[in-house]
Chain A
Amino acid sequence: MEARALKPRTSRPAWLRQVWNCRLLYLMIIPLIVWYVMFCYVPMAGLYLAFEDFSYKGGIWGSKWVGLANFEAILTDSEFLRAFRNTLIFSFGKLLLQFPAAIILALALNEIRQPRLKKIYQTVFTFPHFISWVVMAGILKNMFASNGVINQLLTVAGMETVSPLLSMSGFRPFIWLSNIWKEVGWDTIIYMAALAGIDPGLYEAAEIDGANRWRKIWHITLPGIRSTILIMLILEIGRVMTTGASFDQVFNLYSPPIYEVSDTIDTYIYRTSFNGTKDFGYTTAVGLFKSVLGVLMMLGANKLVTACGEDGLF
């Protein structure tokens, strides 16, 4: 608004004139900036709480400063360490199972030569992605209940019944597999996009050279989507601390008897903050520790990929 005070014909600096020319653009982006400040940056500033002993009276800005005491407490909190371990197990399981599964499914879909059939498969496989975990948990709990369809089938087949939702050994595989069921189709889309970009001439040339299907997949298709695979890998590693095991999924499926194998950092933060066992300052410190580690892991993975001469995220 200062610009208005200046007379149009005076020789004000070029950059100021440019700002004035863009005044409508600034006007249009104001709501977005206000939103980012209010709902992203003010909460980020609220991480200050991680260094405080929270009191309702003082709030974020007026509670007692305790320095790194909260972080020291984290390292001796066995319940946190359990949640930390579970988070890593969920995430690395996902990385080992779902990550390759998506690539394999994309390669399989790529081999379907009828476009219509391929589209039908894709439509079916991506569908569960759009259903919330609240609904999915309802469906899964019903299917795996003692009188649910899975156990009825097992009984008919003369096998032992299962209850993965309450089983110490079965819960983790259940989380991995149900997440594959819900999300693997969606994960393939990005690879399908990359596969569509491979020059068909390469396949033709390989055919002339007498390459079979496997050789074509190995020497053309996989190298063709390598950079996409690496980018997805970096992103996935960046998610190890948070949604590696999706919070929505675990939160809607876990229960007290199996916290030992199912409690993750996020569910731990939520539960202990709101049932009053832990101080808000302490759980904020846990959250901060988690996000910092997540960002570091992503940057590390990115560095590793770029060091190998491949394209990273940045």
Chain B
Amino acid sequence: MTTQKRIRPFDLVINLLLGALALITLYPFYNVLILSFSNITAISKHTPYMWFWAWDLEGYRTIVNDPYFFSSLGNTLFVTVVGTTVNMLLSVAGAYVLSKKRLPGRGFLLTLVVIPMLFSGGMIPTYLVMKDYKLIDSIWSMILPYAVSSYYVIIMKNYFRSISPSLEEAAVIDGANDITVLLKVILPISLPFTMTFFLFYAVERWNEWWNAYLYISERRLYPLQIYLREVLINMNNQLSLMAQIKSGKKIPAESVQMATIIITALPILCVYPFVQKYFVKGVMIGSIKE
């Protein structure tokens, strides 16, 4: 902090307020972390818990010993990796094409992309159509319904339009076609930009639960979010009971649940602080009106 600038009471008040808000925002996550490492003694003795009174890994061990945990982790990884790839392939190619003013029928195609932002078939028609496509109880039901986000396509299109056409013209003179222009000229210079949308899509795929909830009933196909939901609602007692029988110790259902929460949110917790600027950039670009 600068010493030469005098600190006015206003600054002090605003920092106190925002600081308090920041603590309120973060405390619930801290609370989860404490609970995930706690055991029966810690939970019964030290209340309310503001500090780590135990470093017990039993909660995590219980989850890791559950075979369904690994199948759901695998499913979520598959959905995130394949889903984000599909997202990016469709969106980047589509946005690039839509950015070309010389394309006959561009207006029609744009309308095709924009209408679903305002209006959709809704839950039941979509469900029945998914059923017709034989996607019920298929892992693709977590990937295909969200393969494109109109909103991101429009933002990307606006960005591609802002890239100087002279770059493209130079490449075309050198004999490049539209596909090589996109791959060799446009993509390399817009990498930080497309990165933003890669991250948006990746987070959405990782957090995906609703399509899985609607379309998937087989437990071996559950993603992590649905597995967590089960642990939180139904199975927690069953799981900790099984672990108790195995280890002979009493394991609080709470620490099993909280351990699952930590595992489910972990990738986002770890990556988020480093990529936050990309997310902010994404919104800022999106806010510029055409």
Q: List 15 A-B contacts (CB under 8 A).
A: A21-B102, A31-B90, A32-B90, A40-B120, A44-B125, A60-B125, A108-B17, A108-B18, A113-B11, A132-B225, A134-B264, A142-B35, A149-B31, A228-B287, A238-B118
Cβ contacts B15-44/A at 8 Å (1 or 0 each): 101100110111011011001000000000
- Chain B residues with CB under 8 Å of A121's CB are 18, 22
Q: Which of B53-98 contact A (CB under 8 A)?
A: 89-91, 93-94, 96-98
Is A32's CB under 8 angstroms from B94's CB?
yes
Is B121 interfacial (CB 8 A cutoff)?
yes
Do A36 and B113 touch (CB < 8 A)?
Answer: yes
Would A29 and B93 count as touching, CB distance under 8 A?
Answer: yes
Partner of A143, one of B28, B91, B132: B28
Contact with A49, one of B124, B203, B276 (Cβ below 8 angstroms): B124
Chain A residues with Cβ below 8 Å from B170 are none
Contact of A134 among B127, B178, B229, B279 (CB under 8 A): B229
From A32, A114, A247, residue with most partner B Cβ within 10 Å: A32
| Residues 216-234 of B at the A interface (beta carbon under 8 Å) | 225-226, 228-229, 232
Contacts from A to B (Cβ < 8 Å): 15, 18-19, 21-22, 24-26, 28-29, 31-33, 35-36, 38-40, 42-47, 49, 59-60, 105, 108-109, 111-114, 117, 120-128, 130-132, 134-135, 137-143, 149, 152-153, 156, 181, 185, 189-190, 192-194, 196, 213, 228, 231, 238, 247-248, 252, 266, 269-270, 273, 280, 283-284, 287-288, 290-291, 295, 298, 311
Across-interface contacts of B209 in A (CB, < 8 A): 132, 134, 248
Measured between beta carbons, the chain A residues less than 8 angstroms from B273 are: 123
Structural contact, B232 and A141, CB atoms closer than 8 A: yes
- Residues of B in contact (CB 8 Å), total 88
| Contacting pair A43 B125 (CB below 8 A) | yes
Main secondary structure of the interface of B (DSSP, over half): helix
Q: How far does the alpha carbon of A291 sit from the alpha carbon of B276 in the complex, in Å?
A: 33
B124 cross-chain contacts in A, Cβ below 8 A: 46, 49, 269, 273, 280, 283-284, 287
- With a CB–CB cut-off of 8 A, which chain B residues contact A266? 123
* Contact pick for A36, options B116, B258, B272, B283, CB 8 Å: B116
CB atoms of B280 and A153 under 8 A apart? no
Q: Which residues on the B side are within 8 Å of A185 (C-beta)? A: 25
Cβ-based interface call for B51 (8 A): no
Least Cβ distance of B261 to chain A in Å? 5
Closest chain A CB from B86 CB (angstroms) = 9
Tell me if A's interface is mostly helix, strand, loop or mixed.
Answer: helix
Contacts of A213 in B (CB 8 A): 10
Query: Which residue from A60, A138, A143 sits with its C-beta under 8 Å from B228?
Result: A138
CB-contact partner of A28 in B93, B118, B276, under 8 A: B93
Flag if A142 contacts B258 (CB, 8 Å): yes
Given A40-B116, A42-B129, residue A29 in contact with residue B98 (CB < 8 A): yes
Inter-subunit contact B128/A22 (CB<8 Å): no
Complex interface: stretch among B140-148, B161-169, B189-197: B140-148
The 3 closest A-B pairs by CB, nearest first: A43-B121, A46-B125, A287-B122
- Verify if B126 is at the interface (C-beta below 8 Å from A): yes
